[in-house]
A and B are shown apart, each in its own frame.
Chain A
Amino acid sequence: MSTLNTLLLGFISIVLINNLVFTKFLGICPYLGVSGRIDMAFGMGMAVTFVVTLSGTLTWLIDHLILMRMGLEVTRYVCFILVIAGAVQLVEMYVRKFFPSLYESFGIFLPLITTNCAILGLCLFIHLWGIDNLPEAVVLSFGAGIGFTMAICIMAGIRENLNLADVPECLKGAPITLITAGLLTLAFMGFAGMIR
């Protein structure tokens, strides 16, 4: 029961309280770049969720089974990036095969998941937080992806409505988007301290 409790709390924590986008400011590039339309944002979120779950799990395994046992912590960054790049390649092939229209609308952002700092960030956080069992690592990785999807979908929803709003000329485009991002972050700051 206590294991389940830890997992559930970890999941809620990474989705709401330690959301990578809102509190760590990671993954801002796709967060602002692909949040124009809600269907594309959701697709992007799903792709990131898949990649982050896969790479979070794999990097935990590699970290604990190979790197730490052999005293090779120094190669952690390189290995993690290798895992992420491989996972992104896999996703890209999958999306191209089964969702060609999504593939076209993603454009450059799909291969750019490789350099999405939220993913490498999470893999390193898992080590930093001292997560020492596999289920927790998997749940945290999955939660990080869900958190990212939630953030980007909220943003896309706001931006879709923002298109109809009467925005002052000097704030049109990027400025109002950044202001919105800031306000969203402030709102999510309200969750801070909910789980100790």
Chain B
Amino acid sequence: MNYLELWNSAWPAGLTMLGLGSGFSVVLLIASVKLKVEVDPKIEQIQQALPNLNCGACGFAGCAQYAKGVSENPELLGRCAPGGPETTAKIAGILNLQISDSGPAERPIVHCRAQTADKTYYAKYQGIATCTAANALANVQACKFGCLGFGDCTLACRFDALDIIDGLATVDYAKCTGCGACSRTCPRNLIEMVPFSQDNMMTVACSSKEAGKSTRGMCKVGCIGCGICAKKSEQFTVEDNLARLAYEKYERTEETEAAFNKCPTGVIIYVGKSAPKPRVLAKKAAIANNKE
């Protein structure tokens, strides 16, 4: 077979394909004009501005859905916790909106500071190793308010910002994005989302509403509701044997510093980035010295 014969048998095939192809392309061209879907370019821009972590902190299934939602309803602005104010500002820019300062970003505070050595146990728990399961059991540990330490919150956290250290949930504030998943997961509601007006915040790391004597019997570091902090600073209030800070008007003053220094159980601590160390109680220090 020479080249001419090959060519003669090949060109009708090529021409047919070309004809069919162009026929279909014309049909598709007409269809694409007739059936055009207008996609708002803003939605795409917003989605690119979002962190695309799909964490669900905004209340939508994912970043794509939030982008669509916020473009239709600007009231949803500022729901993106991982993105923070920068992302909100970007989205506002895309939507041509002006935003007022929405206040400091929220971060979780674990209202318990009892590690395994500080707690009292009646018996050894050998059930399912989750907080939710353990919480159903009344006597899993003496304190009915404190951290169970099975780490449901560490599983809920998508950012690896929570660890169980010596039986206590501990937040790594460098990794935390403030999505609030841990706060929603904790079966004992120990984790509160607090507006962090400063890098580190003072807090009463206890949730026990038992009477002071009873708390002291169960936990070495619990709040006994003595009220010394409330006397030292107006920012503290004591209710149900439990001291609390008013975070809305939190300010570091000499008074709060005095409360920090006078707290008999040392339950007032700093949390957050580069937080000052908890106060070492005189008694504890003495015991530690003796051991040495």
Are A and B genuine complex partners? yes
CB distance from B283 to the nearest CB of A (A): 53
Q: Does A127 contact B (CB under 8 A)?
A: no
Q: Are B17 and A86 in contact (CB under 8 A)?
A: no
The tally of residues in B whose CB lies under 8 Å from a CB in A reads: 14
A102 to B272, CA, bound (A): 46
Residues on A with beta carbons closer than 8 Å to the beta carbon of B24: 82-83, 86
A94 in complex: contacting residue of B16, B17, B27, B35, CB < 8 Å: B35
Q: Are A97 and B37 in contact (CB under 8 A)?
A: yes
Given known contacts A82-B24, A83-B24, A86-B24, A93 and B17 CB-to-CB distance under 8 angstroms: no
Q: Are A79 and B35 in contact (CB under 8 A)?
A: no
Residues on A with beta carbons closer than 8 Å to the beta carbon of B21: 82
Q: Does A165 contact B (CB under 8 A)?
A: no
Q: Are B35 and A72 in contact (CB under 8 A)?
A: no
Given known contacts A67-B16, A79-B20, A86 and B32 CB-to-CB distance under 8 angstroms: no
Q: Are A86 and B27 in contact (CB under 8 A)?
A: yes
Q: Does A183 contact B (CB under 8 A)?
A: no
The tally of residues in A whose CB lies under 8 Å from a CB in B reads: 19
Majority secondary structure, A binding face: helix
Residues on B with beta carbons closer than 8 Å to the beta carbon of A66: 16, 20
CB distance from B19 to the nearest CB of A (A): 8
Smallest Cβ-Cβ distance to B21: which chain A residue: A82
Q: Are B28 and A90 in contact (CB under 8 A)?
A: yes
Q: Does B12 contact A (CB under 8 A)?
A: yes
Chain A positions 99-129 with a Cβ under 8 Å from a chain B Cβ: 100
Q: Does B31 contact A (CB under 8 A)?
A: yes
CB distance from B15 to the nearest CB of A (A): 9
Residues on A with beta carbons closer than 8 Å to the beta carbon of B20: 62, 66, 79, 82-83
Q: Does A74 contact B (CB under 8 A)?
A: yes
Smallest Cβ-Cβ distance to A86: which chain B residue: B24
Chain B proximity mask over A70-83: 1 for CB below 8 Å, otherwise 0: 10101100110011
Interface positions of B (Cβ within 8 A of A): 12-13, 16-17, 20-21, 24, 27-28, 31-32, 35-37
18 extra interchain contacts, Cβ-Cβ under 8 A, other than A86-B24, A93-B32? A62-B20, A66-B16, A67-B16, A70-B12, A72-B12, A72-B16, A74-B13, A75-B16, A83-B20, A86-B27, A86-B28, A89-B28, A90-B31, A93-B35, A94-B35, A97-B35, A97-B36, A97-B37
